[in-house]
């Protein structure tokens, strides 16, 4: 049984992607990174990527090829503020998915490592209010 199956399969990943993009739609820094008026296609891509990564259907690879996360994010201004906002919205999505503690910790560890690896600038974007750094052990933020 894969991690995908253990946490509830398609329905769970659908919920995580849906909640994440619900939050992104309201975020003044992340929302402008999505040129589409409708976030539905981005939501589908995230869901398919996560499903494939965690042992579900390989639909993402069949439709989009190798994920190449760093390359796909190069055009975007991914600074520490954007990373932290992304993690905040993903934390909300995982909380609402109500995974077991072990599955939550495993999923969260991956998301934190992925988010940190995608930072491609330390220059502020100038878009939206910059979140003040704060102690957030739940997000792994310590400065």
Within a 10 A sphere around the Cβ of 62, how many other Cβ atoms? Answer: 10
103 is in an annotated binding site: no
Q: Which residues are annotated as a binding site?
A: 116
Annotated binding site for heme: 116
């Amino acid at each position: 049984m894969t991690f995908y199956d253990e946490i509830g399969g398609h329905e769970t990943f659908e919920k995580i992607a849906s909640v994440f993009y619900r939050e992104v739609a309201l975020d003044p820094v992340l929302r402008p990174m999505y040129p589409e008026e409708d976030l539905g296609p981005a939501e589908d891509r995230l869901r398919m990527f996560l499903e494939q990564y965690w042992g579900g259907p390989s639909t993402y690879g069949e439709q989009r090829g190798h994920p190449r996360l760093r390359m796909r994010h190069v055009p975007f201004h991914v600074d520490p503020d954007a990373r932290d906002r992304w993690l905040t919205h993903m934390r909300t999505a995982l909380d609402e998915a109500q995974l077991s503690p072990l599955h939550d910790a495993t999923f969260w560890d991956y998301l934190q490592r992925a988010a940190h690896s995608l930072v491609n600038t330390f220059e502020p974007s100038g878009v939206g209010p910059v979140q003040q750094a704060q102690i957030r052990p739940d997000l792994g933020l310590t400065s």
